[in-house]
Amino acid sequence: MSQIDQFLNSLKRSLKAKNVLYRDLAKALKLSESSVKRILSNKSLSLERLEEICRVADISFSEVVKSANLEEASQVFTLSDEQEKALAENVRLLHYFMLLHEGKSAQKIEREYQIPAVESKKYLFQLDRLNLIELHPRDKVKMKKHGFLRFRRDGPVGKAMFEQTKSNYLNYDFKSEDFLRFSFLKLSAPTLAKYKTKLERLMLEMQEEGRFEVEHNVNVLDMGVLLSFRPWQYSYMGAIKKKE
């Protein structure tokens, strides 16, 4: 995702946080709602128009830039084998690290979760030794890497998570309020590559939106989102064989 895309997404999230609808902007800017939608999806948005939108919505331009995290927001990073192995061997340590990665302080984790201060301190030292965090006095934590953490498919944590995805996530009777779509398609390799890029972008957008809502104390739900495709066909499709 380009930095322009990140900035526009940040602007849209800021408008959402202020409960400013497109029709509200359209009325204030004396434009049609479709024109406002087009402007906010147009990468050639002028600074004058941007300043006008921020003024109308009472949004700070600097806050939009800060929220966008232009240099770090699109970074996807992985961990070393040693780091993943240590986390995979201790699920409480793994969960603790993920809570820190979400932006929670050690003090907040101790207040909101069932974890003694002694255990919390032990995990902080362990994560510091693993070079996953930088530990400062009074248990202040600086994350070593920022962006979106992606566990490697063949790594210790990735393998465990993938097994849970197969045995737990997919073994579920999806209800009407859940979202499930499956389609059997015939697509060429270039088309698959194109949609893989689009799906990667979509996942990053959802992760950015989720991080924004957590940072702004929005009431959120823990959700599992699975995007996938692979060579496959229904078993009945082999009932009638092709001629040689």
Distance, in Å, from the CA atom of 16 to the CA atom of 10, rounded to the nearest integer, reads: 10
pLDDT digits (tens, 9 = 90+) for 19-59: 888 888 888 888 888 888 888 877 667 888 888 888 888 88
Confidence of residue 132 (pLDDT cuts 50, 70, 90): very high
CB 61 within 8 A of CB 50: yes
Distance, in Å, from the CA atom of 110 to the CA atom of 235, rounded to the nearest integer, reads: 51
Distance, in Å, from the CA atom of 127 to the CA atom of 122, rounded to the nearest integer, reads: 9
pLDDT digits (tens, 9 = 90+) for 61-110: 877 877 766 545 457 889 999 999 999 999 999 999 999 998 889 999 99
Distance, in Å, from the CA atom of 18 to the CA atom of 13, rounded to the nearest integer, reads: 9
Domains of the chain by start residue, with CATH = 3-68 (1.10.260), 75-172 (1.10.10)
**Biggest CA pair distance of the chain:** 74
Q: Name 76's bridge partners.
A: 148
CB 66 within 8 A of CB 56: no
CA distances from 107 to 9, 63, 100, 141 (A): 31, 26, 10, 10
- The pLDDT value given to residue 58: 87
- The pLDDT value given to residue 71: 47
pLDDT digits (tens, 9 = 90+) for 216-242: 778 889 999 999 999 998 888 888 887
- The pLDDT value given to residue 14: 83
Region of 46 on the Ramachandran plot (φ > 0 left; ψ -120 to 50 alpha; else beta): beta
Tokens of 185: 């398609």
- The pLDDT value given to residue 43: 67
- The pLDDT value given to residue 2: 64
Alpha helices in 89-231 (DSSP H): 91-101, 106-112, 117-129, 156-164, 189-215
Q: Name 142's bridge partners.
A: 134
pTM as predicted: 0.64
Mean per-residue pLDDT, 163-185: 90
